[in-house]
Each structure stands twice: as C-alpha cells, then as structure tokens.
Amino acid sequence: MEHLLTKISCSTTEEKEKALKELQNVCTQCKACELYKTRTSTVFSDGSASARIMLIGEAPGADEDATGTPFVGRAGQLLNTFLEEAGIDRKKDLYICNTIKCRPPQNRVPTNEEKAACQAYLMGQISIVNPKIILLCGSTAANSFIDQDFKISQIRGKWLNIFENIEVMAIFHPSYLLRNHSLEQGSPRWLMKKDLENIKNKLDEIKSNI
C-alpha cells in the first residue's frame, strides 16, 4: 500500500534542522498517550537531517530512555557494527528514529494506540528529512506501514512500494540478531549483511545520479 506524505518544504540542511528541532520541542511536551507518565525522556532521533537513509526502529529501550538517543544499547552497538562493515556512516548517511518516542514499560511492543499517538511526529520526520531510502527495522516498524499479515523473514531484503519516490526495505531488528549468533550462509546475521550491502549499493547509485 502506498502512503501519501504531506510535504514540508525544507530545501537546505539548516531548514531541515530547524524544522526537526521545532517538531522535537513539541514532542518533548507530548502527553498524547499514557507513556509520558513513565518516560525519563523522549527519544526523538539521531544522525543527520540531510541523510539519504532513514532508519525507523520500534521503540526506545532502557538505555535510550536514559540518554534520549535511539539505538545506543546492545542492539544499537550491534547495528553500528553491521553498518560499519557495510560502509554506511551512521552519523552522515543515516537519520534514525522510532515508531514511538517514549519507552513502553518492560520494553513491551507498542500498542496501536501508542503508535497512532506518535504517528504525526514520525510522518513529520519523514517529510522534513525527505530521505531517498527508508529502512523499516524489525516487525513493529514494518507493521506501521504494511497492512497485511507478514513475517519479517519473508519480506526483509525486498524493495517495497510504500512511499512515492522513496525506496523502502524491511530489515531484521538487531535485538533479534543478538539471539542469533551464526554467520553461516542463510542465517539472520548473514542475511542482514547481504541486505546492508544491497542498501549501500542503492545509496551509491543514488549519490552517483545527483
């Protein structure tokens, strides 16, 4: 299913940074769902406002709630390793966020109501950054954009038709890879490496056409 975005016109990095900061300031005060009662901080984003790749995860964990930055715990550290091996620069090539900006208690999966309460922030981030590639990191992130039932193992690694003029791919969440250590051909970690190689090739192709 193709999602339509309300475009927020930001042509320069400075304009994008300003618009994102304004959106973040609103998000910091948000009480649209009950998660504001238990959060330490809102976890808005990391990376570059002018990045060509946006990575969307599930929700903040304990480390993210404490620091206010997404993907800084064990799963985030593993993600960094995979990105480095693929030649993708987390700070320059990626803008990282989550489907929701507050940590659910005990790291449970966000409810549909919680995701709906945060949707305007997420769609605002997509519109402002205007990435060329979106990575849906894990089932929860993919579920936010794909209506039909699926298994992440069946759809990962494929370019999906979700947004006009944006290449979208679902990938494994690094927390899943923490439980799967094998690097044998066909294993989740092996597939993740292949997917990131594919993404890096697409990024290089986009850069060469600019």
Q: Which two tokens stand for residue 98?
A: 């989550």
Query: What is the chain's pLDDT, residue by residue, as a tens digit (210 residues)?
Result: 345 556 677 889 999 999 999 999 999 999 999 999 999 999 999 999 999 999 999 999 999 999 999 999 999 999 999 999 999 999 999 999 999 999 999 999 999 999 999 999 999 999 999 999 999 999 999 999 998 889 999 999 999 999 999 999 999 999 999 999 999 999 999 999 999 999 999 999 999 987
Please tell me the total number of residues recorded for the chain in this structure: 210
Q: How high is the pLDDT of residue 1?
A: 39
* Burial class of residue 99, CB neighbours in 10 A (0-12, 13-18, 19+): buried
Distances (CA, A) of 45 to 12, 72, 179: 18, 11, 25
Residue 105's pLDDT is: 96
How far is Cα 143 from Cα 145, in angstroms, rounded to an integer? 5
pTM (2 decimals)?
0.95
Structure tokens at 161: 């038709």
Q: Which of 95, 91, 82 is nearest to 200 (CA)?
A: 82
Task: Quote the Cα angle for 130-119-38, to 5°.
Answer: 125
Beta bridge partners of 46: 96
Domain range 13-203, CATH class: alpha beta
Where exactly are the structural domains of the chain?
Answer: 13-203
Tokens representing 151 are: 């298994």
Backbone angle region of 94, left / alpha / beta, with phi > 0 → left and psi within -120 to 50 → alpha: beta
Using DSSP bridges, classify how beta strands 46-47 and 94-98 pair: parallel, antiparallel or unpaired: antiparallel
| Phi (first) and psi of residue 179, to 5 degrees | -95, -5
Per DSSP bridges, beta strands 46-47 and 53-57 are: unpaired
Q: What is the pLDDT at residue 6?
A: 66
* Range 34-43 burial, b when 16+ CB lie within 10 A, else e: ebeeebebbb
